[in-house]
Structure 1
Amino acid sequence: MNFPFYIARRYLFSKKSTHAINIISGISIVGVAVATMALVVTLSVFNGFHDLVASFFTSFDPQIEITPVAGKTAPADDPVLTKIRTLPEVEVATESVEDMALAIYGDRQAMVVVKGVDNNFDSLTHIKEILVGNGEYSLKVADLDYGILGIRLAETLGTGYGFKGAMKIYAPVKEGQLDMTNPEANFVEQELYSPGVLFCVKQAKYDKNYILTNITFARMLFGRDGELSALELRLKPGSDFEAVKGRIKDIAGDKYYVKDRFEQQDDTFKIMKIEKLMAYIFLTFILVVACFNIIGSLSMLILDKRKDIVSLRNLGASDRQIVRIFLFEGRMISAIGAVTGIVIGLLLCWLQQTYGIVGLGRSSGSFVVDAYPVSVHYDDIAVIFITVMLVGFASVWYPVRYFAKRLL
């Protein structure tokens, strides 16, 4: 049996001569537990928002997007892209052309992003699941080019679900010199009609700026015949995503970027990761403050047990073993607080997931969720437990050795 651990366990749970020591030990455990619980709940809320945002993007973004490193476009018949399309794991491959343009409807106008896609775009993404309105998904019928607007862009232009008549789309001419005497000659003008639906990704980047149309229209508008802005892929079910992505990167070399859904929205998720890291750091500082209670508890315990320590020395205990007794005492307080805090934190997360106890206050109803989303990642729980144990050990190591030398 580990002698210092056995004595430390007896000291922790036994009655002290001074009742205040028991109270301070209890306060120490509560302080560590509360800080640990805050870490669990806060990081889980950040995970919840991360997963929520990721679920929105998957309705519009492809599994894998391949874009040129140099310039905005690349030849659609590039042998590198052809080789990627023919990989056995690729189920759907879609070309897209995307650029800025000016949309005018009635007396309103807005700068927009026109994204032209192949006819199989609905097989590549879950676009049909995020459509609202009375019409159907369609990008071209006969000679009519249809455009599906983001719901907030439709509000800006005042179109409603299905606008009547044509919407004018203007883009700068790509080649030749500007004719200042005839400004209209410097722009390509095209018309889009409405299929009676809008898309709602629930992300301002798309809902406020994008118009989805067919790729032929986009190529004519931007002068990109035979070119593409991106090759978008969906893999067959059961494919090893990381392995296939690695093979595509090897084929693409330095000529193309290969991005998964998270990398396509790298800025958004990077900001969320930084926010989560800052929350973790600040709460860890609070945990450090809570651990100062452990120092007070141990210093009073050392004073209370001076007679017992003399007896232990007479029985042959070394100074090192005596110091380890109080180090174990501090570690046990940290461990009990950590486990208690994690259990309570997980319970609160479960209650929030199940019943949505904590709402978004006055903002409730303005967002896609009425309560804070929560997602427990067990690697975070492991990091929290290790953090609490390390902070608890570091906070008592020097004070215990100092008090032991001075007071024993």
Structure 2
Amino acid sequence: MNVSFLIAKRYFRSKKKRNIISIISNISMIGVAVGTMALIIVLSVFNGIEDLIRSLYGSFDPDLKITAVEGKSFEVNPQFLDSIKGIRGVDLISETVEDNALLRYQDRQMIVKLKGVSDNYFLQNSIDSALTEGSAELKRKGLQYALLGRGVQMQLSIRTDNPFVGLQVLYPKASKKISLNPENAFNEKGIMPGGVFAIERQYDDNYVFVPLEFARDLFNYGTKRSALEVKVTEGTNPDKVKRQLKRLLGEKFNVQNSDEQHTSLLRAVKVEKLFVFITFAFILLIASLNIFFSLSMLVIDKKKDIAILASMGASATTIRNIFLFEGAIVAFSGAGAGLFIGMVICWAQQTFGLISMGMTTAVVDSYPVKMQALDFIFTGLAIIVITLLVSIRPARRAAALQIKDNL
């Protein structure tokens, strides 16, 4: 076994527990353990939040979404759709038309995101599983119905069980002539409220789903569509289908997977996670400064031992490694304990939901947590770097001690 490691382990297990060096070493271990534990827990919470975002939007977003690079819409014809359906892995294509519109109910009104969807839309979308009242069917017995977000319903006090009061939807006419009569400046269509959904506040407060024909006529889109939403065959990699679609459609179209449809939000979570990691790494560095002080005092306390080792033929590298190993033992003992405790706490939160969100309207009862191996790896690497930084100077000072001055 390595001589330097054996001596470092002996110093670490020294019976003299009452001296100041041992106290500082113990404080160092506790500080590193607490910092490591907190870092693992916080990183796991960010992982859980990222997964929660994906699951929330997964009930709304398609596997792949095709939009125009320029403009709000693009021409769609049967040949165009057939060419997309011919790609291996494409299971279903839904046509959508989406734009802002004014929604009016009795004497109240608000701006909403009106989304017209084709009849097969709900075959690839699970919004119908998020219904709070009514039905997700947009066409029943020859009539057209709207599916509203819960926030829209509350804002306008809409009642889906009232068959006598409908919704009025207004959209500006695309005309170069300016009309002095406001009534001539808008297209207006009526529709009945048929159901209410609750997914996530961003959607609940803004979105209204209507049949494709209703939105197409209101917006005067004709054969134009805002987007094509593609469902990928089960077991097929969406990114593989995406690459094929990009080759087929060229540079005039964007093809986005589910993550890319919320790039800014997911990037914000990742950036926050990175800054949290950097912040806690600095906290670990500060906690590890105690290792620097304990090693510096240990070098002073063991001057005679160092001189004896040197006189017996120990090289400067061997003496230096003794104190590097000593710092590593202190740091890794604390880090090992912190990693274990952090893992146990995260497991308990995942299994039992110990800490509640504290909100009755929350989409999950407890804070989401997900452990990832990379977090443990990067935390371990950070501790190794920090340990080297705080241990190298005392170790060099020990290796530079002169025999004649310390015997």
Smaller-chain TM-score bracket: over 0.9
2:267 aligned to 270, 273, 290, which one? 270
Name the SS for the 2:370 alignment partner: coil
- Does residue 329 of the first structure (1) align with residue 326 of the second (2)? yes
**Shift, 1:192, TM fit:** 1.2
Deviation at 1:403, TM superposition (A): 5.6
**Matching residue of 1:157:** 156
Residues 146-155 or 237-246, more deviating: 237-246
Aligned equivalents of 2:24, 2:211: Cα separation in 1: 70
**Aligned letter for 1:316?**
G
1:132-281 paired onto structure 2 within 5 Å: 132-133=132-133, 135-164=134-163, 165-180=165-180, 182-195=181-194, 197-201=195-199, 203-281=200-278
Per the alignment, do residues 336 and 173 of structure 1 end up closer, same or farther by CA in structure 2, a change over 3 Å counting?
Answer: same
Task: Verify: 1:387 aligned to 2:393, yes or no.
Answer: no
TM-score normalised by the chain length of structure 1: 0.93
Describe the superposition over 1:31-80 as per-residue Cα deviations: whole angstroms up to 9, x where unpaired. 11110001000111111122112111011111111110010001112866
CA contact (8 A) 2:104 2:167 kept: yes
In structure 2, what is the equivalent of residue 48 of structure 1?
48
Paired AA for residue 179 in structure 1 = S
Please give the alpha-carbon distance, in whole angstroms, between the structure 2 residues aligned to 1:343 and 1:352: 14
Q: Give the letter aligned to residue 217 of structure 2.
A: M
| Residue equivalent to 1:28 | 28
Q: Distance in 1 between matches of 2:371 and 2:287?
A: 24
The letter of the residue matching 1:191 is G
Q: Are positions 1:70 and 2:65 aligned together? A: no
Distance 1:17 1:222, change over 3 A: closer
Q: What's the offset of the Cα at 1:17?
A: 8.0
User: Any idea what SS the aligned residue of 1:137 has?
Assistant: coil
The 1-side partners of 2:161 and 2:304 are apart by 87
Q: Aligned-pair distance for 1:291?
A: 0.6
Contact 2:306 2:398 in 1 (8 A): no
Q: Provide structure 1 residue ranges, at least 5 long, that are not aligned to the other structure.
A: none
1:179-225 Cα deviation digits (max 9, x unpaired):
12x22111100111122x21111x22210000011111111011111
- Give runs of ≥4 in structure 1 deviating > 3 Å: 78-82, 160-164, 402-408
Report the TM-score when normalising by structure 2. 0.93
Alignment pair present for 1:303 and 2:288: no
- Contact 1:323/1:404 (8 A) holds in 2: yes
For the aligned residue pairs, the C-alpha RMSD in angstroms reads 1.9
What is the Cα deviation at residue 355 of structure 1?
Answer: 2.4
* Partners of 1:62 and 1:382 in 2: CA distance: 34
Write the distance in 1 (CA, Å) between the matches of 2:112 and 2:162: 17
SS of equivalent to 2:66: strand
Q: Is the 8 A contact 1:338 1:389 kept in 2?
A: no
Tell me the residue number matched to 2:289: 292
Residue correspondences, number: 402
Q: Distance in 1 between matches of 2:78 and 2:72?
A: 15
After superposition, the Cα gap between the structure-2 partners of 1:143 and 1:176, relative to the gap in structure 1 and judged at 3 Å, is farther
